[in-house]
Amino acid sequence: MKNATYSGDFGSNEFELIMSLVRDYFDGLHYGEVSKLRAIFHPDAYLNAPSLRRSLEQWLDAVANRPIPNQQGQAYDFKLLSIEVIKDQAMVKLECPLFDHFYIDFLSLLKENGRWLIVNKMYSDLREGH
């Protein structure tokens, strides 16, 4: 996770907590670990792409039923591009190449009850011309 930039008023512990969530997100995608992904998303999170809206359960079902990138020999080429934190909210920008796609993901995080969770995911595939 090179190239990480961050801004905001928070301690290094908050940064490490968010970095841990991002690592779990990347691992969940790469290894098809639905339980790991479920653990870092708020249950009412929505995933939004141009012309596509899915609930967390719809997305996790899709992840569970697609090929697993690691088993297909796909490279672990995910990148953290930026983190911005303001109090108990954060925006994380990621590069997520998967299969024949090159996704840019924006993850909206909230810290509630002492824990950071993804409450919204917006993503777009740069290879589709969107």
Domain annotation covers residue 82 = yes
Q: What is the CATH number of the domain that holds 67?
A: 3.10.450.50
**23-32 tens-digit pLDDT:** 999 999 999 9
Domain annotation covers residue 68 = yes
Q: Is the pTM of this model over 0.85?
A: yes
Question: Domain range for residue 37?
Answer: 6-128
Domain annotation covers residue 88 = yes
Count of domains forming the chain = 1
Domain annotation covers residue 39 = yes
Q: Is a pLDDT exceeding 70 seen at residue 14?
A: yes
Whole-number Å distance between alpha carbons of 2 and 79: 7
Question: Strand, helix or coil at 58?
Answer: helix
Which stretches of the chain are DSSP H helices? 12-31, 34-40, 56-64
Specify the DSSP class assigned to residue 22: H
**37-96 tens-digit pLDDT:** 999 999 999 999 999 999 999 999 999 999 999 999 999 999 999 999 999 999 999 999
Domain annotation covers residue 1 = no
**101-115 tens-digit pLDDT:** 999 999 999 999 999
